[in-house]
Amino acid sequence: MKAALTPVFGLAAAMSAALSGTAAAGTVTGHVISGGKPVAGAMVTAFDETKARRDTTYADAEGKYSLAVDFAGKITVRARAPGLVDGEQVTDLPIVATRTLDYDMRRETNPAALSDSLTASAHLSTLSWTDQATRAAFISQCNYCHQVGNALTRVPRDQGAWKDAIRRMEGYLAILTNREVEGISRVLANGMDDKPVPNTQQHVFSDELAKATVKEWVVGDGMSFIHDADVGEDGHLYGADEGHDVIWDLDRQTGKVEQHALPDIDLPEGGVFSGFQLPIGVFTGKHGPHSLAQAKDGRIFITNALSSTLASYDPATKAFKLYDVGRTHLYPHTIRIDAEGIVWFTIAASNEVARFDPKTEKLTIIALPHDGFWRAVTDFAFPYVIKLASFFPHRGMHLALSHTKWADQGRDALSLPYGIDVNPIDGSIWYAKLNVNKIGRIDPKTFAIREFDTPLKGPRRLRFDRQGNLWIPAFDDCALLRFDPRTESFESYKLPLLAPNEYEVPYALNVHPTTGDIWITSNMSDRIFRFQPSTRSFVSYPLPTRVTWLRDLVFSKDGGICSSSSNLPAYGIEGGLASFICLYPNSETVTH
């Protein structure tokens, strides 16, 4: 249907774009077939000449596609589908023009190439875990910020080399017991053997795919770590680059990208975490901007995880202002702003939530329940251990002193308050504790706290819907949870897998303000999920770039579901660079 309308739609879209001064150029249309049959759901991606822009659409059930491209000139158009060899064609695409490019894709018969084309989730499915506890530690800690099983991370190593790799990760913040290190390194040494993995994945096509487009804007370099993105009132995408202490600013209309450097601070590289094995991940900064949210006055508030500060950035004046959170309050994390304009954020490594009033600039720290003896030890001692470790920069001395090791506590030693959101019904503040499988409610006036155990593990970045239901991604258990604060009851939904022995690590979700659909990151299979509560059904959108790891999802006024592709490290992403990414489920409504 869409393809049949292509010439008219393509011209209209391009003219509309030209009139509105946007970047849209021409349209590419065609068919994707293989062996004479249509390839439903094939991803057709146009790359600009620099490969910094990528626009993608999906072929419909008849294999037809129509892609309104945002950029003109010499473009490369790639067709990609599971089990088939990528097809590429180069064409010149002037403004207000349509090009027809058909693809007859051939089946991938080379087992190694077929294996290489599979998602990270497939490569992990062949690992032989000897016990569930070690597997659980692996999922929780080794998939914490990135995929394992992609081309970069499935390189065969012996156990000693895997131990070295894990040790490096522990220097970055992964938390494992020595026993877990031993078990994980053994399984990876045995399982990551470079033998092709069999393709048992089943991709379910939905007619919804044919309506959608995906737009990607490459940003930063191979060491960028754009942790979170947010859509500004001006429609720009802002991204907090924890690797480089900059805020990326993308004007999606023009494609222009600017970077705004955070002001310097009297701290060494790594900030208060300078004793950690640096750079933490790929961080070369002192602030580590992490999460961001825009206030009603237009200022964007940013949690600086490494410098224990809160920053505000004014897009109008491009001015930053720093607010000290206190250097014993470690790792300011996810940030949200309530209806009264109060800024709330979790402080992950100190088991705290902060409240900041932008009008009075008053900061209040709310200590959360300790959740047991060893976590109380962490809450008390961690700032001092961090301080002590900073006298021996980059040595990871905290690991030598940590009871995660000597008391065999592992990740259980940290509560790790993570995601946070505001209940639209009563204004209460809710947070998730990632490591202790709890969610909690804070009364915004009295600061009274009440916590609830979640039935599944790894509650991460949660969000409310308009009715006051709390939706929670269960990172460690590959599921979506719904919590009704009125009845204090949970419901769970398993995420759709590409094969029964795979798993996903849903990092974040968001609830669409008008449709009520829940959009969820998958992160192990380069997909994004849409859950429709009314039918309790999922739609899976495959994403065109391999090694896509998404964090906060935000909605743009023009119908996009946007995020930052922020696998750690960025050079592990196909193409080697991080990007902003927006999925438009109804591309006909896209106005830019």
Phi, psi of 115 (to 5 degrees): -60, -45
Nearer to another protein among residue 62 and residue 408 (C-beta): 408
Q: Residue 189 or 388: which CB sits closer to another protein?
A: 388
Number of residues that bind another protein (CB under 8 A): 18
CB of 135 to another protein, least distance (A): 18
Residue of 154, 163, 236, 592 interacting with another protein (CB under 8 A): 163
Q: By C-beta, is 221 or 408 nearer to another protein?
A: 408
- Tell me which DSSP letter residue 129 carries: -
Footprint on residues 341-400 left by another protein (CB under 8 A): 388, 392, 395-397, 399-400
Determine the Cα–Cα distance for residues 349 and 417; give it in Å rounded to an integer: 8
- Contact flag: residue 53 with another protein (CB under 8 A): no
**Minimum CB distance to another protein, residue 22 (Å):** 53
Query: Closest Cα to residue 322, out of 351, 287, 352, 291?
Result: 287
Strand partners, 529: 520, 540
Q: CA-to-CA distance for 121 and 507, rounded, in angstroms?
A: 15
Inter-residue contact 262 to 247 (CB < 8 Å): yes
Residues 281-320: x where in contact with another protein by CB under 8 A, - otherwise, as a string: ----------------------------------------
Print the binding letters for residues 406-425 with another protein: x by CB under 8 A, - otherwise: x-x-----------------
Instruction: State yes or no: cis peptide before 156, omega within 30 of 0.
Output: no
Closest approach, Cβ 406 to another protein, in A, equals 6
Q: Which of 48, 55, 60, 170 binds another protein (CB under 8 A)?
A: 170
Q: Compute the distance between CA of residue 327 and CA of residue 270 in angstroms, rounded to an integer.
A: 13
Handedness of CA 60, 64, 67, 73 (dihedral sign): positive
Q: In angstroms, rounded to a whole number, what is the distance separating the alpha carbons of residues 206 and 333?
A: 36
Least distance CB 391 / another protein (angstroms): 8
Question: Which residues in the 190-249 window bind another protein by CB under 8 A?
Answer: none
Q: Which stretch binds another protein (CB under 8 A): 53-61, 162-170, 247-255, 473-481?
A: 162-170
- By CB atoms closer than 10 A (0-12, 13-18, 19+), residue 364 is exposed
Among residues 78, 152, 157, 167, the one that binds another protein under rule CB under 8 A:
167
Over its C-alpha atoms, the chain yields an Rg (Å, rounded) of 23
Between CA 63 and CA 443 the distance in angstroms is 53
With contacts defined by CB under 8 A, name the span among 177-185, 303-311, 497-505, 580-588 that binds another protein: 177-185
Count of C-beta atoms within a 10 Å radius of residue 408: 14
Residue 156 or 160 with smaller CB distance to another protein: 160
Contact 263, 220 (CB under 8 A): no
Q: How far is CA 270 from CA 29, 44, 335, in A?
A: 49, 41, 21
Q: For another protein, which is the closer residue by CB, 97 or 407?
A: 407
The residue among 183 and 232 lying less far from another protein, judged by its C-beta, is 183
| Type of residue numbered 465 | D
Residues near another protein, by CB under 8 A? 163, 167, 170, 178-179, 182, 388, 392, 395-397, 399-402, 405-406, 408
